[in-house]
Amino acid sequence: MRVSIKDVTITAKDSFLPPYMANKPAFAQGAQIEHSKYGLGSVMSCNEEYIVIKFDDHGEKKFVLAIALSALKKSDRQPPVEKRRSPRKKAAAPVAVK
């Protein structure tokens, strides 16, 4: 019996992830990773289908986990310290001239 590609539905959960990863995310939130193109980053969220990573130099990006998994590896670096914005100084109210 032949099966054509249009008759088969492939999902990331069924075919691309190893069995031990089918029920849990590949990376925990806050994990430090390295991407082959975007460099170092922190995992913001991860589920069976998608992973959201905040990269140090490229901002936040969302990937299809099954595709991006080969480009990611865990990093042993410490998470970067978030920079806090200093509060804006309020401009002095204009003075009425008589």
pTM score: 0.60
Beta strands in 22-87 (DSSP E): 32-35, 39-46, 50-55, 59-64, 72-74
Pick the more confident residue, 63 or 27.
63
3-state secondary structure of 61: strand
Domain architecture of the chain: domains with CATH: 25-77 (2.30.30.30)
Please tell me the distance from the alpha carbon of residue 1 to that of residue 71, in angstroms, as a whole number. 36
Residue 31 CB contacts under 8 Å (≥ 6 apart), including other chains: 42, 43, 74
Helices (H), 12-82: 65-68
For the segment 16-62, what is each residue's pLDDT rounded down to a tens digit?
Answer: 555 555 566 778 999 999 999 999 999 999 998 999 999 999 999 99
